[in-house]
Structure 1
Amino acid sequence: MIGTIRTILGLLGIVAITLWVIVVQTFAMKTGLIDEHRWPRWWHTNMLRMLGIRVHPHGEMARERPLLIAANHISWTDIMALGSLGHVTFIAKSDMARWPLIGFLCGLQRTIFVERDRRRKSGDQASEVGQRLAGNAAVVLFAEGTTSDGNFLSPFKSTLFAAADIALAAGKVEKMYIQPVAIAYTRLHGLPMGRRHRMVASWIGDADLVPHIFRLLREGAMDVHVSFGAPVEYTPGSNRKQAARHAQEEVRAMMIERLRLS
């Protein structure tokens, strides 16, 4: 009964804040009369409240720009956790652009869509990310290329790290920064989740989104830790594969630490 009530109230809250942000953000993007960067962050913060997810930041998002944030990926709620902590641009799979409502909401935050399964387009996709970086943006790259169950870290894919080289080649900046960020879901109703219960937070592969939303609404009271590593300077002489390996090692270390302390 309590779970049902929580779900209904959460859904009503999600609908209300989403409708509000659609109206305000659309107005902001079309007119430029109000700051379009404010409302996505507001939406992420309030969505987390409706879902009952508490975010615990460790460190802070680097202030240097351009910035490529290299993070692990567990669930769609990772986007909200990071989006609530600063103004960022996300990279998402191209098929999300066609999802009802979700694709529209992604557009309101100027998400970069890529086709990760088509290698021949990887250069064009890295170019788009690179151009956005050259404009002094902070871009989030979920470097594993897919989601995991939150208990382990998959190898980081270096392909989109090429965006850093393209941003530098554009000639608008002489250097940029790559910041490793670890996301770890640790507690459910105040109790350590453990390997099995961490599956409540994870959204893996082609799992349906709507049932997962309902499950999170029904459960509520979940803790996620976002750990920010030290940003690493990336210059024309840097190697993207080495940068990807370094980011992977840093994220793994921070993730293990948070899971151990939970």
Structure 2
Amino acid sequence: MPVAPFLFLFRFVCVSAWILLGLLTELLVFPVLGRVRRRRVVGAWSRVLLRLCGVRVRPVGAPVARGAVLWVANHVSWVDIFVLNSVRTTSFVAKSDIRRWPVIGLLVAWAGTLFIDRRHRHAVRDAGRQMLACFERGDAVGLFPEGTTTDGSHVLPFHAGLFDAAVQARVPTQPVALRFLKHGRHAPELAFVGEQTLVANLWFLLGARGVCVECCFLAPIPASAGLSRGELAQRAQAAISAAVRGESA
């Protein structure tokens, strides 16, 4: 896993400056912007962040670009939120632990993340209500139903609880398979997984060349399919798992 130290240093300085600008934007500019303009800023900011990190995003398939939709994806890295935001500004549901991550926690909160604290009895219900409010506004909501990250070589079983919001709102669910590649090959070292620290992950990511995140937007599952939340979760998991393995769903 060769890392270019000078490339890492250059990108780290650029990314740090861009993050600082993002935080200043949140404090000074966001209060005077409307919701639509804020979302546009988040999308544009995410695209620049990924370029500065040396990450190229390659969308495959047809993402649902307008109207309410639930995007469900496998979870590989802290980068995932910004990858999908670069395609369409999305309100993500994430575990509350992420809010406490140094710097990254502030950024994902700024990007409109809906945090869920599973220690609370009504956490899923409360998050579901926030998702319904997003759907009513015609927004995209993003969900990582595995509940944790993997190295990207496989997909864990999905937690079905939050799929209920899509069932209630009768919005389509679009599975999205994320594949982290380096020079066209699977790159597990780029995953933020296990006991790895954020600093170690940044070392591998910012010091690497040829990094590409392939976003496979799979066939949406329409609300008219009439699936339960459990059936919806199983179908989405199967589709993403097949795409990650390079098979047809």
2:113 equivalent to 1:111: yes
Distance 1:217 1:64 in 2: 33
Partner of 1:8: 9
Aligned mate of 1:210, from 179, 199, 204: 199
Question: Are the counterparts in 2 of residues 146 and 205 from structure 1 also a CA contact under 8 Å?
Answer: no
Partner of 1:192: 185
Distance 2:75 2:41 in 1: 23
My pick for the range that moved more, 33-42 or 89-98, is: 33-42
Partner of 1:95: 97
- Please report the TM-score for the alignment, with normalisation by the length of structure 2: 0.88
- Give the superposition deviation at 1:2: 7.8
SS at match of 2:38: coil
Shift of the 126–191 alpha-carbon distance from structure 1 to 2, 3 Å rule, reads closer
Distance 2:103 2:75 in 1: 22
Distance 2:244 2:101 in 1: 31
Shift of the 114–149 alpha-carbon distance from structure 1 to 2, 3 Å rule, reads same
Unmatched runs of 5 consecutive residues or more in structure 2? none
Shift of the 30–236 alpha-carbon distance from structure 1 to 2, 3 Å rule, reads farther
SS at match of 1:216: helix
Unmatched runs of 5 consecutive residues or more in structure 1? 169-174
- Please report the TM-score for the alignment, with normalisation by the length of structure 1: 0.84
2:47 equivalent to 1:45: yes
Shift of the 119–200 alpha-carbon distance from structure 1 to 2, 3 Å rule, reads farther
Aligned mate of 2:230, from 217, 236, 241: 241
Shift of the 161–132 alpha-carbon distance from structure 1 to 2, 3 Å rule, reads same
What RMSD over aligned residues (CA atoms) do the two structures have, in Å? 2.5
Partner of 2:81: 79
SS at match of 1:176: coil
AA aligned to 2:238 is: E
Deviations 1:211-241 (A, max 9, x none): 2112211223212211001222225954111
Question: Are the counterparts in 2 of residues 61 and 228 from structure 1 also a CA contact under 8 Å?
Answer: yes
Deviations 1:162-200 (A, max 9, x none): 12244x3xxxxxx311101101123x2x2524xxxx321
Partner of 2:144: 142
Partner of 1:171: none
Identical residues among aligned pairs (%): 29
2:153 equivalent to 1:160: no
Question: Are the counterparts in 1 of residues 65 and 88 from structure 2 also a CA contact under 8 Å?
Answer: no
AA aligned to 1:58 is: V
Shift of the 146–47 alpha-carbon distance from structure 1 to 2, 3 Å rule, reads same
Distance 2:177 2:120 in 1: 27
Over 4 Å off, 4+ runs: 117-120
Partner of 1:172: none
SS at match of 2:153: coil
Count of matched residue pairs: 246
SS at match of 1:210: helix
Deviations 1:107-141 (A, max 9, x none): 32221001245565322222222222222210110
- Give the superposition deviation at 1:256: 1.7
Partner of 2:176: 181
AA aligned to 1:183 is: L
Deviations 1:41-81 (A, max 9, x none): 22222222222222111013203421100111111122222
AA aligned to 1:225 is: E
